[in-house]
Amino acid sequence: MAYENIVYQVEEGIATITFNRPKALNALNAALLDEFSRALDEIAADENIRVLVLTGAGDKSFVAGADINELATFNSLTAKNFSQKGHAIIARLQGLPIVVIAAVNGFALGGGTEIAIACDFIYASENAKFGQPEINLGLIPGFGGTQRLPRLIGPNLAKELVFTGKMISAAEAEKIGLVNRVLPAEQLMDEVMKTAAEIAFRGRASLRAAKQAINHGLNTDLATGIHIEVDAFGLCYGSSDSKEGTSAFLEKRKPKFKGSLKD
């Protein structure tokens, strides 16, 4: 499928979506969101994909928020529809049963931060910047910033970022737990792909079970979360990968995981 606003690639079980509007700092408009949605459909339908990496074209921006030229045309109804559309796409991103890594290579503002924090974790280049600047436009975050950000870094820090609209550096983002690793720009994608390949080697069923147990457990109390883990642990034994993994360990060889999400 041809795309104009993103670049979509798959290699050795790792899919990469590159937001590709570098002249607009990869800002989100309706056309890009539609293409992003279609690419997620392709990924969800491809049993061979084990990891998804998101990044931005160029060396300045991951996603610099929503396209202000498009925002300026909205009224209350079209703004609500745009927000709902973004939420639906980001919810599908977060709900993918595979691992999703954000490789933030520059500005991740507004919707850029909101997409990144819906991923399973974030690696950032040293020149990356994060922020929710919507307050400067007389608006609030519309793609999950008021909800996911407090759950990730705590309500007080999230309120400070949302209320002030300030940008923070990659180093500060790492300090507050928003980012896992900060790397020199020239090393970012190599390190992301190295981690992606390490994860892609693991069994699909166990990766799915681990991701779902963590995500679902975060929205419950500890006792309920433990029940989720126990059920997921048991279900892992329905996959051929559990037998392969234990056999490989006992036979002192590397496992060859070939299980399916449908196991």
The pLDDT of residue 261: 54
Backbone angles phi, psi at 63, to 5 degrees: -150, 120
- The residue from 134, 160, 172, 244 that is catalytic is 134
Q: Using an 8 Å Cβ cutoff, are 57 and 21 in contact?
A: yes
Asked if 26 and 55 count as a contact pair (C-beta separation under 8 A), the reply is no
Q: Are 140 and 118 in contact (CB under 8 A)?
A: no
- Largest Cα–Cα distance of the chain, in whole Å? 65
pTM (2 d.p.)? 0.93
Structure tokens at 47: 């049993």
Across the range 50-61, mean pLDDT stands at 96
What confidence score (pLDDT) does residue 251 get? 84
C-alpha 129/C-alpha 134 separation (Å) is 15
Marked catalytic residue, from 47, 114, 174, 229 = 114
Domains of the chain, earliest start first? 6-200 (3.90.226.10), 204-250 (1.10.12.10)
Residues 6+ apart with CB under 8 A from 259: 203, 204, 205, 239, 240, 241, 244
Model pLDDT, residue 247: 83
Residue 130: which of 189, 176, 193 has the closest Cα? 176
Query: Dihedral of CA 243/247/248/250: which sign?
Result: positive
Q: At what angle do helices 30-45 and 76-95 cross, to 10 degrees?
A: 20
pLDDT at 262: 58
> For residue range 178-211, what is the model confidence (pLDDT) as tens digits?
999 999 999 999 999 999 999 999 888 889 999 9
The pair of structure tokens assigned to 114 is 């909101």
**pLDDT tens digits, one per residue of 149-173:** 999 999 999 999 999 999 999 999 9
114 is catalytic: yes
Distance CA(54)–CA(99), nearest Å, equals 11
198 labelled catalytic? no
